[in-house]
Amino acid sequence: MLNQERLHSMFPKMVERRRHLHQNPELSYQEERTSAYIKEQLEPLNIDILTHVGGHGLVASIKGVRPGRTVAIRADMDALPIQDEKITSYASQVPGVMHACGHDGHTAVLLAVAEYFSLHRNDLAGEVRCIFQPAEEVCPGGASAMIKDGVLAGVDVIYGVHLWTPIPIGTAASTAGPMMASTDEFFIDIEGQGGHGGMPHQAVDSVVAGASLVMQLQSIVSRSVDPLHPAVVTIGSIHGGTVQNVIAEHCHLSGTVRCFSDETRELIRTKIERIANHTAETYGAKANIQYVMGYPPLVNHVSEVERFFRSAAEVPNLKAVETLPIMPAEDFAYYVQQVPGCFVLVGAGNPEKGAIYPHHHPKFDMDEEAMLLAAKLLVQMTETYFNDTHE
């Protein structure tokens, strides 16, 4: 049974840890000091700790006095290349780097969960495996590397949360099936033939071909994808030429693709490659395409989402709601491809505390009370799973 008072007593430490991490952020694949700090916080708990898992990742295992199933809980710990513009005592002290997505809070929550179960191991029949993952923000991401290193060996179920400012404090949201989109990237170099801006007939204008391609690619979602299958194709950058009177030999485009099914994902890739090649050819140019398959869609398991709703009902001051799928991506998707699991958005928005900015914004902050609710929810989901499977 969830020990509310014990988690409440841990809340000041959660805040302290989150603010330490917020002041000392590290980018994806560079989380060496962050990893060392997490290890330092875990060592007094007298639990098994593995370091350098999938890079800078750590795994902390709390084994009960009796054998049983294994529940994994994951938190990410990398920051973003954004200058912190908040005016707070705990603003980032690293120029151009900040925790603008809540990963510092996720780490603080999981440290508290690890401590909680270390104090309750005599009541535990099974194992709680805490996964501290690096490099969630940048493909190929840290999840696949940790899985390759065996982090899911023997795991029966996995849970994760994201502190989410678009949702108000006191609310948690999830949904069965596809919840977060896949994320792929493409880079297209259109090779034309440079020339004088006053004599276009003697050149092949890569910029004109690129401009046409931007418009052609917008037809993919509206005319090739099933309207009942959400998808996004965004051209994020286009660069070509150097001066006003020279026809550019090269034009570079890059963009992102988001969708919720592997079938739609493959359709869009095929269309982008075909349209790019045909459009370039129409203008006498050539298209060189680099298509990078990123994170797959995050698909929650029905049984574990049902367990989330039952568990959330046991957490005071927390309301569970069903969310619509969202287009941001998460490499937690790799874990739930391997084992049953559920990913939950825990509301962290609160205008009264200035938690009004979206994720990846230079003034991003959260209502830290959300960490306590997230910790309670994860503990309750874990205990509910053990209770259900031991009946």
Q: Domains in the chain, ordered, with CATH?
A: 4-178+297-390 (3.40.630.10), 182-292 (3.30.70.360)
Amino acid code (one letter) for 384: T
State both tokens at 82: 């954004």
State both tokens at 43: 């060592």
Each residue's pLDDT tens digit, 131-184: 999 999 999 999 999 999 999 999 999 999 999 999 999 999 999 999 999 999
Which residues in the chain come in under a pLDDT of 70?
A: 391
CA distances from 175 to 88, 146, 178, 305 (A): 35, 25, 8, 6
Q: Which residue has the tokens 């090779």?
A: 191
Q: Write the DSSP assignment of 225-274 as a string of letters.
A: S-TTS-EEEEEEEEEE-SSTTEE-SEEEEEEEEEES-HHHHHHHHHHHHH
pTM recorded for the entire structure: 0.93
Query: Shortest CA distance to 389 belongs to which of 65, 156, 116?
Result: 156
- Helix and strand numbers (H, E) in the chain are 10, 16
Q: Given this model, what pLDDT does residue 3 score? A: 86
What contacts 357, CB < 8 A, 6 or more positions away? 165, 363, 364, 365
State both tokens at 365: 């902050």
Q: Given this model, what pLDDT does residue 391 score? A: 55
Active site residues: 78, 136
